[in-house]
Structure 1
Amino acid sequence: MTPIVRLDAGDLLARAEELAELLTDTVAGGASVGFLAPLDRAEALAWWKGRAAAVDAGCLAVWAATAGERLAGTVSLAFPDKPNSRHRAELVKLMVHPEARGRGLGRALLATAERTAAGAGITLLHLDTETGSPAEALYRTAGWTRVGVIPDYAATPAGALCPTTIFYKRVERAGALP
């Protein structure tokens, strides 16, 4: 079992180099996570370092999974700051290193985020992902509900516009009565 740990702001900054490497390798591997290829390592490093304040403020939760000595994957939850949306969160930046794919790590990261959300009183999660991607199949088989597809929503790492599928999942509050 790959250890998955939640990072605080200090942990994130301490592991920013590893996180940047994971991000650049993920984009180079074709995953659509908001960046174009080739992703400059300095840009990836600055992006991750820029997340530390949100983690420190409790607006973002980040988990990291290691396989051996290498950072193999990460997932995050973004929490809204509006009073009428505190019951939900957005699942963002689920990344598994290309060399670690196909071993259940994405599913384990997803389950970790879902359990933590439920424990924090979150009852609804949502996300968007590239239509037709392996991630789309993961979310569908993990019980997420497809809302629909938005055409030309984002660009692939190669820069081509592609459709995006929107998903949601209801999660039960920890300790809630059936």
Structure 2
Amino acid sequence: MARVALRSLVPSRLRTAGGKDGPVPKDVPEPEPDPPRGRRVGAVLVRVLATGFAFVFMVAFAVVLARLTLQPSPASEALTHSNLHPGRSLRAYLDQPELRDAVKQIGGNLLLGVPFGVLVPVVAPRARGLLRVLALTATVMLLVELAQGSMVTGRAFDIDDVILNTAGALVGYLFIGRRLGRAVHARAGSG
């Protein structure tokens, strides 16, 4: 009983993290007080709005992706062929006489993956992290290419498209998505 009474007189900074009396090591920071309730509610509201906006943008992106990749192209049916060898289409793009055509093909496929790298960490917080974003992007793009190659007239499966789309997601994640995901979901567990 006397120990409890004495303990209440000892400042908390002199107690160790384990609750025993004694000085706290210098490298152990003082626990921060909980933010006021209004600030927590505001943070949750911002998180919900940012996630909702990112979700709407992701749905819009999915519609654009479907229109760009799953629209039939009967005029190019005789020109298309599947590519299962990484790098083959890239070499063909770079061998074209017009540099503009190569930039359009390679740059377009890279840009198509960027929204995944930016939006996935916001929309799906459990999918945050470089490897998870890349795996999710590669899986989605592989499914798009499989659908394109098997069901769409004038389109073919191309593994280089999957690689370029995934590389675009990497760029989007490293430049924007990682920071944006942390900003929106950083304190999801606290408060």
Tell me if TM exceeds 0.5.
Answer: no
TM normalised by structure 2 equals 0.27
| Higher normalized strand content (fraction of residues) | 1
TM normalised by structure 1 equals 0.28
| Higher normalized helix content (fraction of residues) | 2
Q: Which has the higher contact order (CA 8 A, sep 6+)?
A: 2
